[in-house]
Amino acid sequence: MQTKKQNKLRSYRNKMVETRQSSLDFFTGVEFRYEQVGLLNGCMVINDSRSTDLEGTLDSLTVTNTPVHLIMGDADVQQLMQHLASEIKLKVVTLGVYGATDFTKRFEVSNLVDRTVYSKKLDDVFLQMVNWLKPGETLLFSPGAVSNKFDDFIVSGTYFNSLVGPYINR
């Protein structure tokens, strides 16, 4: 019984992702949901602070067709590995995590990507990742967890936009 339900959910999710991908060329995002903030040294910056669960982050990774520098909040590592491991291994070149209190738990995830950055502060993660961005890549801010650093996704999204604003090529 559970398998039928899981297959139905998986089918629904796949259809949703296909629809998103086909319309992505015309979609510039809703505020804080896959919102294209601008270019930073030729790298598209996307604010996806509405993704406060791993499914939202997975959807955003799935529709992104370029190498990704992913900034996440302190999501549960076991859940992260179950939901995102294959997509991270496939698309993410740098994984930045802010708010983490036990960095040793991140070892499993760091084996999936070229580089990892961990800090209690979003600013530190962003400033380190800026050095690695290349034209044609994507910097994706998609927390994947409810933040203990910000009151809600609006606050974190606004903060992220103010943080990257001075770096955006206008």
| 117-157 per-position pLDDT tens digit | 888 899 999 999 999 999 999 999 999 888 778 889 999 99
Residue with tokens 């598209």: 44
Q: What is the CA radius of gyration of the chain?
A: 15
User: Whole-angstrom Cα distance, residue 51 to residue 89?
Assistant: 20
For residue 79, what pLDDT is reported?
75
- The CATH number that applies at residue 146 is 3.90.190.20
Residue 133 sits at φ, ψ, to 5 deg, of: -70, 140
- pLDDT, average across residues 39-48: 95
Cβ neighbours, 10 Å, residue 15? 10
CA distances to 38, 69, 138 from 94, in Å = 19, 5, 10
pLDDT at 106 over 60: no
Count CA atoms closer than 13 A to 29's CA, side-chain side. 21
Residue with tokens 């996806």: 48
Sign of the CA dihedral running 160, 163, 164, 169 = positive
pLDDT at 90 over 80: yes
Determine, yes or no, domain membership for 133.
yes
Determine, yes or no, domain membership for 116.
yes
Continuous H helices in the chain: 2-23, 54-63, 77-91, 107-110, 122-130, 153-164
Domain count, the chain: 1
Domain hosting 117: range is 28-167
pLDDT in tens, 4-37: 777 776 776 777 667 666 665 565 567 889 999 9
> What confidence tier does 107 reach under pLDDT thresholds 50, 70, 90?
low
Determine, yes or no, domain membership for 17.
no
